[in-house]
Amino acid sequence: MSRNKARLVAMQGLFQLDDDLEGMKLVIEFRAGEEELAPRDSKYLEELVNSVVDNQAAIDERIGKYSIGWDVSRLGKVERAILRLAIAEMLYMTDIPVSVSINEAVLLAKKYGADQASKFINGILGKFSREELDADPANRAKRKDPRQ
């Protein structure tokens, strides 16, 4: 449950300060304090946000590639924030199964996104996962959800 809170805080910070990366870090630090996250979850939140901030151009390039017909700048801020978080988690936080990253992104989209956002996000992340992550057998084995 607490990683869910960390993801929510990260999404809210990305939403509030969409392209103001330094300001976003301050907002997220403040929100994390309000949520009283456990130290482990605060560390996860920091790693996730830093992954988005440090790799935003590469992440946005992938979003653009898989959101056929949609420029990243045309996406809703909530949807853009969720996609950035999920792709950062899938690329740079390899201890988290891809299926968990996708599921959590879809849940955030259902709760905070536009009407069809969860389907849109699920489609983009599913295609990204199949074409970029599953293509490498070593990566696929390492990232498999142990519950499956």
Return the H-helix or E-strand segment holding 122: helix 117-128
Query: What pLDDT band is residue 21 in, cutting at 50, 70 and 90?
Result: low
Q: Residue 148: what pLDDT?
A: 47
Give the domain CATH number at 110. 1.10.940.10
What pLDDT, on a 0 to 100 scale, did the predictor assign at position 135? 72
How many angstroms separate the CA atoms of 86 and 63, rounded? 10
For residue 47, the enclosing domain spans 2-142
Assigned domain for 91 exists: yes
147 within some domain: no
Q: Is residue 67 part of a domain?
A: yes
Q: Kindly report the CA angle at 48 between 140 and 50, in degrees rounded to 5?
A: 120
Q: Which of 2-6, 80-84, 144-148 has the lowest mean pLDDT?
A: 144-148
Give CA–CA dist 31/35, Å, rounded: 6
- Kindly report whether the global pTM for this prediction surpasses the value 0.95: no
- Assigned domain for 148 exists: no
Residue 103 located in a structural domain: yes
**pLDDT tens digits, 32-70:** 676 777 888 878 888 888 898 889 999 999 999 999 888
Asked whether residue 18 is domain-assigned, the answer is yes
The rounded distance, in Å, linking the Cα atoms of 93 and 101 is 10
Confidence of residue 73 (pLDDT cuts 50, 70, 90): confident
Q: Is residue 26 part of a domain?
A: yes
pLDDT above 90: residue 28: no
Domain count, the chain: 1
Q: How high is the pLDDT of residue 4? A: 79
Cβ partners under 8 Å of residue 8, min gap 6: 108
Task: Give the pLDDT band (50/70/90) at residue 92.
Answer: very high
